[in-house]
């Protein structure tokens, strides 16, 4: 079962915090917005986007098994 998690950096740490000097906060998903709410990671390790908001990919609960985004499925 997929666990509800939020995006993490390549070193498996928490999402990048906004840079206090530039205000930069990374964006995710097909909507190109910051991390918020429930998100799911595409199981394709080569996915260009990687993380998606549930609502943007029409999910309301974690899917059973592996999940691939619309671009990778």
User: Is the confidence at residue 65, as pLDDT, over 60?
Assistant: yes
Backbone angles phi, psi at 55, to 5 degrees: -60, -30
pLDDT value at position 20? 74
- Between CA 17 and CA 53, with CA 29 as vertex, the angle to 5 degrees is 85
* Residue-wise pLDDT tens digits, 3-62: 445 555 544 433 456 677 887 889 999 999 999 999 999 999 999 999 999 999 999 999
59-64 contacts at long range (C-beta below 8 A, 24 or more positions apart): 62/1, 62/2, 62/3, 62/4, 63/2, 64/1, 64/2
């Amino acid at each position: 079962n997929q666990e509800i998690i939020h995006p993490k950096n390549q070193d498996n740490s928490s999402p990048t915090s906004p840079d206090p000097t530039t205000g930069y906060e990374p964006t995710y998903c097909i909507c190109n917005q910051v991390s918020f709410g429930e998100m799911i990671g595409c199981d394709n390790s080569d996915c260009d986007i990687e993380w998606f908001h549930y609502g943007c990919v029409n999910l309301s609960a974690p899917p059973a098994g592996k999940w691939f985004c619309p671009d990778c499925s």
